[in-house]
Amino acid sequence: MQLIPTGEAGKPRSQFPPVFVGETEIPETDIAREMQHHPAEELSEAWHNAARSLVIRELLLRRADELDISPALDEEVRVAAVIEKLEVPEPDEAACERFFAANPARFRSPTLLAVSHILLAAAPDDLEMRFEQETLAKAILSQLLDNPGRFTELARQHSACESRHQGGSLGQISRGQTVDEFERKVMHMQPGLAAELVESRFGYHIVRVDQRIEGEPLPYEHVRHQIRHYLMESVTRRALRQSLQVLAMAYGVSGVDLELPESPLMQ
């Protein structure tokens, strides 16, 4: 990933605007180093997120100076101390109950699926192999649609996954246990053999859902602490955003906007 292309006489020439907090410029080398913590599809997005993170840190460290938080402390500790000093009202029980009542779909036990698959493997950048494996996967799927009982046999014969030794069975899975592109398709499937292939970074999957157990609504008592934590973080985020706006006006910020990410609280 190239952030700073070389200009005349070997001097760095940034493709992005300089970033300042007051009269202090955030070094391009620091932004480039910070980018590893902010992966994104576009270079410009990764750069902007990294620059914003460093600007926020600089503003909070200046606020730490204002609050006489010892500069001998680690920077992370000083930043955390500033956030802890924000005046944030704690959500009461009524607010938690209202949030629970307004968001019933958020508070359910996880849906569980027993899944089997046949993986025709191909590297993401090997287009020729991916075409060949997709063609083979479609041929195998066609056989299975005619004769589903051959799934175990064909899994052992063709699958590149270790699950082939169990006839393709992945066991019981829930959200967060497989790669995103596989999960997005499979978690919405009903029991039975899927009529279409599922493509992932690993190749092409022929998928059969052997069992589906829907999640059940959770009682309020089981999630009240989770709700309180979420609402507390939400209120803290608003207070932090307001504080950063005040600090940005006081010190001056240029080259980047300060819109805070949704999650986590600080990046």
Alpha helices in the chain (DSSP H): 28-34, 43-66, 75-84, 93-102, 127-146, 151-158, 180-186, 220-251
* Whole-number Å distance between alpha carbons of 210 and 203: 21
Picking from 256, 253, 254, the residue whose alpha carbon sits closest to that of residue 60 is 253
148: its two tokens: 């589903």
Picking from 255, 261, 260, the residue whose alpha carbon sits closest to that of residue 28 is 255
Which DSSP symbol is given to 108?
A: B
pLDDT per residue of the chain (267 residues) written in tens, 0 to 9? 344 443 443 434 457 899 999 999 999 999 999 999 998 888 999 999 999 999 999 999 999 999 999 999 999 999 999 999 998 888 999 999 999 999 998 999 999 999 999 999 999 999 999 999 999 999 999 999 999 999 999 999 999 999 999 999 999 999 999 999 999 999 999 999 999 999 999 999 999 999 999 999 999 999 999 999 999 999 998 899 899 999 999 999 999 887 755 544 444
pLDDT of residue 257: 83
pLDDT of residue 260: 59
* Whole-number Å distance between alpha carbons of 231 and 244: 20
79: its two tokens: 């930043």
Q: How many CB atoms lie within 10 A of CB 31?
A: 27
Helix (H, G, I), strand (E, B) or coil at 238: helix
pLDDT of residue 14: 59
- Cβ atoms 205, 182 nearer than 8 A: yes
pLDDT of residue 13: 44
Could you name the CATH architecture of 112-213?
A: Roll (3.10)
Which DSSP symbol is given to 110?
A: P
Picking from 113, 76, 78, the residue whose alpha carbon sits closest to that of residue 209 is 113
61's CB contacts (< 8 A; 6+ apart) are: 75, 78, 79
* Whole-number Å distance between alpha carbons of 266 and 131: 42
Q: How far apart are the first and last CA of the chain?
A: 21
Which DSSP symbol is given to 12?
A: B
Structural domain spans, the chain:
8-91+226-254, 112-213
Residue with tokens 């829930």: 174
pTM above 0.85, yes or no: no
153's CB contacts (< 8 A; 6+ apart) are: none
